[in-house]
Amino acid sequence: MNPLEEALKIKEQIIAWRRDFHMHPELGYEEERTSQIVEEHLKEWGYKIKRVGTGIIAEIGNGTKTIALRADMDALPIQEENDVPYKSRIPGKMHACGHDAHTAMLLGTAKIIAQHVDELPNKVRLVFQPAEEGGNGALKMIEGGALENVNAIFGIHVWRNLPSGVIGIRDGPLMAGVGKFDVKIIGKGGHGALPHETIDPMPIAAQAILAFQTIISRNLNPLESGVISVGVIKGGNAFNIISGEVEMSGTYRFFNTETKDLIEKRINEVLKGLTSAYGASYELKVEEIGPPTINDPKMAELVKTIAKRMGLNVVEAKKTMGAEDFAFYLQKVPGAFIFLGTKNEAKGIIHPHHHPKFDVDEEILHLGTALEVGLAFETL
């Protein structure tokens, strides 16, 4: 069985699935239609199905080892601005990260595996998960048994930072861990003309935002990576009134526990020091949303070997401060997260993930399928 040949045979089918999913995007935990279509096909092809909400765990084959392959199915609350025949038909919703492609590729993989189940040396578990975009759907799938008896897990993300068709793989840390912080600075409101009778939280908030940046530039070892971004600031109702409170929210990114702990500790210390200096007080809520995505070196090597054997162009993926809930699977079992390049300047496919003009180069989707099939047939 030649995975690439098999994938080429159903190339148009994979594209058709992708277009159908693209036209009907569904947000996290609302993937009713998408999962229905996936389930119908999988049943028809002989898979054993377990439903986890809008997620699906499907299994096929015999053998002592189980290899899991994962696709995410959710879309984003973005109005599509592409003028293409397969444009989203749902206002305000769009597959702007490529999860439509992931679902279509894994569906293609499912079909090929089912056709060659007699040659399959392992059990294969397919995980079609909901809510990757901030919903931590991976955790729900793990609670639902997605990783039970699994020996290795792989997932592919179409990637617009790599040229179309190029496979990006890396051992060790690949994507960052992500946290969220919510801050409330509590002062004392009053008249805008009488600041001496108030405790103005605005200058404190302004200083805090700048001081947060020194956590990265002055506290973190320059050879380590971290990010702090304040994305929300809210306070005040009128131009001539000093507000009693200011609220801020932001995200922080890290590749290891030391950096995570340092950022969380210093955010608190900065707020404590600044508010105490000005006689204000503060509330801080810090929440780790997900860990870093760390590929197992052996599994990354396996991906490289299989991709090269297929004649694919393999490069070392660059680390990114973006985050992925695939990280949760990799905390439990060895595996690898793989990038599949989809940037194609000639076709105008250049826009970043989560952009209203994001698109994928459909000509290369079958390569993702071929790689997944290759991994499924590799005895661990």
Annotated binding site for Mn(2+): 97, 99, 133, 157, 354
Q: Sheet harboring 314-316: ordered strands across?
A: 48-52, 55-60, 123-129, 66-72, 152-163, 335-343, 167-169, 314-316
Based on CB atoms, which residue is closest to Zn ion, 122 or 164?
A: 164
DSSP 363: G
Question: Binding site membership: which residues?
Answer: 97, 99, 133, 157, 354
Which residue in this structure is represented by tokens 């992708």?
18
Please list the residues that pair with 340 across neighbouring strands: 158, 167
Element (H, E) at 3: helix 3-9
Based on CB atoms, which residue is closest to Zn ion, 30 or 301?
A: 30
Residue 162 backbone phi and psi in degrees, to 5? -115, 145
Shortest CB 157 distance to Zn ion, Å? 6
Which of 221, 228, 224 is CA-nearest to residue 268? 228
Contact 179, 252 (CB under 8 A): yes
Based on CB atoms, which residue is closest to Zn ion, 47 or 329?
A: 329
Pairing state between β 335-343 and 241-242: unpaired
The footprint of Zn ion on residues 184-223 (CB under 5 A) is none
Shortest CB 132 distance to Zn ion, Å? 6
Shortest CB 279 distance to Zn ion, Å? 42
Based on CB atoms, which residue is closest to Zn ion, 244 or 292?
A: 292
Sign of CA dihedral 203, 204, 208, 209: negative
58: exposed, middle or buried (Cβ count in 10 Å: 0-12, 13-18, 19+): buried
# of chain residues touching Zn ion (CB under 5 A): 1
Read off the tokens for 147: 């990783």
Which part of the chain contacts Zn ion (CB under 5 A), choosing from 9-17, 29-37, 93-101, 235-243? Answer: 93-101
Shortest CB 74 distance to Zn ion, Å? 9
Read off the tokens for 73: 């199915």
Based on CB atoms, which residue is closest to Zn ion, 275 or 369?
A: 369
Read off the tokens for 233: 């600031």
Which part of the chain contacts Zn ion (CB under 5 A), choosing from 58-66, 91-99, 141-149, 307-315? Answer: 91-99
- Per-residue burial over 85-113, b = 16 or more CB atoms within 10 Å of its CB, e = otherwise: ebebeeeebbbbbbbbbbbbbbbbbbbbb
Shortest CB 143 distance to Zn ion, Å? 21
Which part of the chain contacts Zn ion (CB under 5 A), choosing from 96-104, 271-279, 329-337, 338-346? Answer: 96-104
- Which residue number places its CB atom closest to Zn ion? 97
Contact between 147 and Zn ion per CB under 5 A = no
Based on CB atoms, which residue is closest to Zn ion, 97 or 338?
A: 97
Whole-number Å distance between alpha carbons of 100 and 72: 8
Contact between 97 and Zn ion per CB under 5 A = yes
Based on CB atoms, which residue is closest to Zn ion, 72 or 245?
A: 72
Contact between 131 and Zn ion per CB under 5 A = no
Shortest CB 97 distance to Zn ion, Å? 3
Whole-number Å distance between alpha carbons of 270 and 179: 17
Element (H, E) at 234: strand 226-234
SS3 193: coil
Residue 293 backbone phi and psi in degrees, to 5? -90, 110
Per-residue contact track with Zn ion, 38 to 77, x per CB under 5 A?
----------------------------------------
Which residue in this structure is represented by tokens 């989560």?
354
Pairing state between β 172-175 and 66-72: unpaired
> Using CB under 5 A as the criterion, which residues of the chain lie in contact with Zn ion when the complex forms?
97
